[in-house]
């Protein structure tokens, strides 16, 4: 145990260098920066949109148009008695992206039941995501205007009937059913919520595994290359302690990276979606989610965390074995690269295929890959199917223990020095 | 008298290839004994087996009457091994590396400090011990590693090509250090493909080629026997 601690300290000191940590901190800083920036931009985009209107008609109907825009939370700047080109010039000056022209004779034409063209100037400054928000202003404005005018027209022509009832005789009353629970909410909202809660988990897991797998494989291969491993093997350190110290150090580093990434990602997502997980988003929505039991409770989070962490440990154990089988650092890096695919396969399969309906062969193939289980766990936890998540965790545990036993076995025999995995020649040499 | 090392009919196969073909020799306590021979002769393989990190295919090896295979745990407490072309952890400082290795062998704080102090004195790296090993030259690294392998005063030090690749002065310093500690009672088993320098270092040598030991004796004995001026000429005769 004393020697294990000594080794563990050495591993951490070797692996936790600034060269290693700095890139992560930079990535997270970039995330925070982008999150912050887009957060501000998104807020700007949600603020009342400015629109410039040149009223050449100056009648009650043109006034209705302007009023309807103001009521729909547009920030309307009205002009009269100027040319269209000076309208565009002033709009540009004021940083307004949309300018409308209500032509002379507008009221008369509408009264004569003739549809009217409404000139719209769209001033595009750039093609970024937030820049395109301005483009939507025009169509929103037009919808608003059509709504107001058609309501007015219907009310004039057919008295005593609610125009809304005429235009939309039916409207949806959505219910979402999950298991035995039902809530009045739209399915889009529910899936949107679930996505916002879980999309970043596989991404974080993927990044952590890619980095940690490289790290541990390189660390073992470097010890082989520098002969420090031979030195350690000739000392009274037990082979088990060697394997466990490497695994523990890599596990600790992985957890650190995972936490840093999660933190960065959450912040980033909050910024981009303008959605803060902590705040109550929309009380009705929150109630519906609660009613459907879609809030992950503490045990669910713990199970998900275990499943994710076991996946990382399994990747580490595989990489340890591959690193121990490589002659040098370069070969080790090449050997662990395919682990990435092992994660991608279940990620895409679970995303695009309903396993329940899939062929048994495909189903068991997915179950067999230990990295599938965190992807399977999240949806199962939302529908409170804890048992299958626990089975997955048990499978991962067994898989992990077999790998650790294999690694210890390799370290305890000649193979740690004589294994030379090489894809060019056939397998073992 | 108890022998420091006894090797009997030792064989080692890598798959179908036999790298060591039934060699036998023994080393007295306090002696500096060398395995000399060209690259690929089987020196490293033999030393790795004695260092308990490879298992012999057949034959007997005893270190101070402890048997390889059966008493590996005990042997590891009493030997130290310096691998061929060894490096150290690049992100550790020299002193950090010595403390780490001392921690592995020491049973208490006092002996740990003793080991580290000994190594600091042997390696002669002074202030550079506070720098990362990644910044060391080859000679500095070798001195650090040699100091590490003898700081615990092992009963048997196994040094694989301790001077190979070093310049003349560094090689000389290393040889002097080894000699000094052997005088103090440490048994040393070295290997080398440089047969000239070994005359200055060793009491007895074994000439090994293609997994077979051809001759064992003091450099003077061997030179007289083959009427040769140096060990290289002896080897040329033996290898015929
Ligand atoms: N891990 C291994 N697998 C296969 N052959 C090996 C291995 N290690 C050494 N050999 C072979 O065994 C022979 C002896 O090698 P070695 O003991 O390293 O010689 P030396 O140290 O005298 O140069 C060489 O022919 C070498 O190619
Ligand atoms: Mg060698």
- Whether A197 shows a pLDDT value over 60: the answer reads yes
The answer to whether the CB atoms of B76 and A235 lie below 8 A apart is yes
pTM over 0.90, yes/no: no
Measured between CB atoms, which of B81, B89, B105 is closest to A230? B81
CB contact under 8 A, B92 and A10: yes
CA of A60 to the centre of ligand 1 (A): 100
Residue A359 CA: distances (Å) to CA of A307, A388, B59, B165, B239 = 25, 19, 57, 62, 68
R_g of chain A computed on alpha carbons: 31
- On whether any CB of chain B is under 8 Å from the CB of A233, the answer is yes
Query: Strand A75-79 relative to strand B17-27: parallel, antiparallel, unpaired?
Result: unpaired
Does position A354 have pLDDT exceeding 90, yes or no? no
Q: What pLDDT is attached to residue A278?
A: 43
pLDDT digits (tens, 9 = 90+) for A283-304: 777 788 878 877 777 888 889 8
- Residue A387 to residue A395: CA distance in whole angstroms: 12
Q: How many CA atoms lie within 13 A of B72 on its CB side?
A: 20
The β-bridge partners of B205 are: B34, B217
Cβ–Cβ below 8 Å for A10 and B83: no
Map out the domains of chain B with their CATH numbers: 25-78+154-240 (3.40.50.300), 87-153 (no CATH)
Q: What residues contact A320, with CB distance under 8 A and at least 6 apart?
A: A216, A217, A220, A243, A246, A247, A250, A407
Give the residue-averaged pLDDT of A332-356.
Answer: 83
What is the Cα–Cα distance from B101 to A7, expressed in whole angstroms?
A: 9
pLDDT at A208 over 90: no
Q: CB distance from B98 to chain A under 8 Å?
A: no
Other C-beta atoms closer than 10 Å to the C-beta of B67 total: 14
What distance lies between CA A16 and its chain's CA centroid?
Answer: 28
Sequence-ordered list of residues with C-beta below 8 angstroms from that of A262, at least 6 positions apart, any chain: A200, A204
Cβ-based neighbour number of residue A130 at 10 Å: 14
* B162 Cβ below 6 A of ligand 1: no
Kindly state the helix (H) or strand (E) to which residue A30 belongs, with its residue range: helix A18-46
**Which tokens is B205 given?**
């040598």
Task: Give the pLDDT score at B187.
Answer: 96
Q: Does A235 touch chain B (CB under 8 A)?
A: yes
Structure tokens at A248: 């523990």
ipTM: 0.95
What is the per-residue pLDDT across A110-160, written as a single tens digit (0 to 9) for each? 888 888 888 999 888 777 665 666 677 888 888 999 888 888 888 888 878
The answer to whether the CB of A167 falls within 8 A of the CB of A221 is no
Please indicate if any CB of chain A lies within 8 Å of the CB of B91.
yes
Q: Is the pLDDT of residue A267 over 80?
A: no
pLDDT category, A45, cuts 50, 70, 90? low
A225 vs B87: CB contact, 8 Å cut-off? yes
Q: What is the pLDDT of residue B4?
A: 95
The percentage of chain A sitting over the pLDDT mark of 90, rounded to a whole number, equals: 31
Mean pLDDT of A411-418: 88
CB count within 10 Å of CB B57 equals: 15
Q: Are the C-beta atoms of B32 and B190 separated by less than 8 Å?
A: yes
Q: Give residues 342 to 381 of A whose Cβ lies within 8 Å of B.
A: none
List, for chain B, all residue ranges whose pLDDT scores fall below the cut of 70.
1
* CATH architecture designation of domain A48-171: 3-Layer(aba) Sandwich (3.40)
Amino acid A129: pLDDT: 61
Residue B25 has a pLDDT of 97
pLDDT tens-digit series, residues A381-403: 887 889 999 999 999 999 999 99
- pLDDT at residue A429 above 60? no
Per-residue pLDDT, A59 = 92
Q: What residues pair up with B213 in beta bridges, in sequence order?
A: B208
pLDDT surpassing 70 at residue A279:
no
Q: What residues does CATH 3.40.1710.10 cover in chain A?
A: 48-171
**Coil/strand/helix, residue A313:** helix
Who wins on pLDDT, A193 or A380? A380
CA distances in angstroms from B189 to A265, B6, B150, listed in the order given: 58, 12, 12
Using a 6 Å cutoff on CB, does residue B16 contact ligand 1? no
Instruction: Take atom 16 of ligand 1 and give the residue whose Cα is closest.
Output: B42
The answer to whether the CB atoms of B92 and A14 lie below 8 A apart is: yes
**CA–CA separation, B121 vs B176, rounded Å?**
14
C-alpha–C-alpha distance, residues B150 and B178, integer Å: 9
Average pLDDT, chain A: 84
pLDDT, tens digit (0-9, with 9 covering 90-100), for A60-101? 999 999 999 998 888 999 999 999 999 999 998 888 889 999
The verdict on the CB of residue B142 being under 6 Å from ligand 1 is no
């Amino acid at each position: 145990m004393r020697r294990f601690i000594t080794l563990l300290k050495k591993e951490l000191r070797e692996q936790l260098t600034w060269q290693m940590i700095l890139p992560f901190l930079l990535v997270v800083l970039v995330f925070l920066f982008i999150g912050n920036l887009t957060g501000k931009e998104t807020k700007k985009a949600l603020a009342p949109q400015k629109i410039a209107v040149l009223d050449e008609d100056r009648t009650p109907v043109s006034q209705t148009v302007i009023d309807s825009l103001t009521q729909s939370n547009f920030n309307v700047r009205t002009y009269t008695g100027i040319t269209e080109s000076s309208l565009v010039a002033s709009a540009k000056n004021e940083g307004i992206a949309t300018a409308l022209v209500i032509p002379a004779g507008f009221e008369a034409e509408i009264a004569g039941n003739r549809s009217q063209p409404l000139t719209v100037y769209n001033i595009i400054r750039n093609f970024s995501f937030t820049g395109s928000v301005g483009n939507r202003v025009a169509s929103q404005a037009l919808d608003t205007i059509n709504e107001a005018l058609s309501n007015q027209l219907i009310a004039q022509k057919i008295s005593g009937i609610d125009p809304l009832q005429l235009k939309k005789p039916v409207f949806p009353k959505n219910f979402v059913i999950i298991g035995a629970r039902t809530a009045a909410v739209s399915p889009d909202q529910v899936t949107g919520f679930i996505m916002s809660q879980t999309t970043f988990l596989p991404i974080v897991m993927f990044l952590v595994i890619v980095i940690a797998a490289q790290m541990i494989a390189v660390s073992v291969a470097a010890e082989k290359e520098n002969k420090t491993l031979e030195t350690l093997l000739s000392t009274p350190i037990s082979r088990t302690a060697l394997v466990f110290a490497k695994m523990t150090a890599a596990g600790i580093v992985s957890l650190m990276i995972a936490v840093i990434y999660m933190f960065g990602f959450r912040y980033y997502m909050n910024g981009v979606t303008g959605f803060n997980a902590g705040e109550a988003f929309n009380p009705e929505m929150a109630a519906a989610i609660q009613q459907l039991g879609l809030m992950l409770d503490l045990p669910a989070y713990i199970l998900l965390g275990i499943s994710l962490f076991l996946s990382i440990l399994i990747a580490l154990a595989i990489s340890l074995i591959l690193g121990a089988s490589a002659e040098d650092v370069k070969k080790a890096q090449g050997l662990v690269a395919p682990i990435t695919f092992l994660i991608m396969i279940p990620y895409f399969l679970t995303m695009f295929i309903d396993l329940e309906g899939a062929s048994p062969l495909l189903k068991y193939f997915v179950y067999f890959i230990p990295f599938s289980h965190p992807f399977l766990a999240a949806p199962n936890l939302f529908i409170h199917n804890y048992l299958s998540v626990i089975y997955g965790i048990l499978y991962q545990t067994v898989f992990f223990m077999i790998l650790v036993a294999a690694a210890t076995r390799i370290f305890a025999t000649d193979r740690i020095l004589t294994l030379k995995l090489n894809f060019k020649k056939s397998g073992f040499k | 008298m108890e022998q420091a090392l006894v090797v009997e009919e030792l064989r080692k196969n890598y798959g179908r290839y036999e790298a060591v073909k039934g060699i036998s020799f023994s080393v007295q306590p306090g002696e500096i004994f060398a395995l000399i021979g060209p690259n690929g002769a089987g020196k490293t393989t033999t030393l790795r087996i004695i260092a308990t990190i490879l298992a012999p295919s057949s034959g007997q090896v005893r270190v101070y009457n402890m048997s390889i295979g059966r008493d590996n745990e005990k042997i590891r407490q009493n030997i130290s091994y310096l691998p061929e072309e060894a490096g150290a952890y690049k992100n550790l400082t020299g002193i950090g590396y010595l403390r780490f290795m001392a921690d592995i062998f020491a049973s208490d704080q006092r002996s740990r400090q003793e080991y580290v102090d000994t190594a600091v004195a042997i390696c002669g790296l002074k202030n550079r011990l506070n720098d990362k090993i990644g910044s060391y030259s080859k000679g500095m690294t070798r001195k650090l590693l040699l100091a590490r392998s003898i700081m615990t005063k092992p009963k048997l030090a196994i040094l694989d090509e301790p001077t190979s690749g070093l310049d003349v002065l560094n090689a000389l310093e290393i040889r002097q250090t080894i000699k000094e500690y052997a005088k103090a009672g440490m048994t040393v088993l070295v290997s080398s493909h440089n047969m000239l320098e070994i005359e200055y270092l060793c009491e007895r040598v074994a000439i090994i080629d293609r997994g077979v030991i051809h001759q064992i004796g003091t450099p003077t004995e061997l030179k007289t026997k083959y009427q040769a001026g140096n060990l290289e000429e002896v080897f040329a005769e033996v290898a015929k």
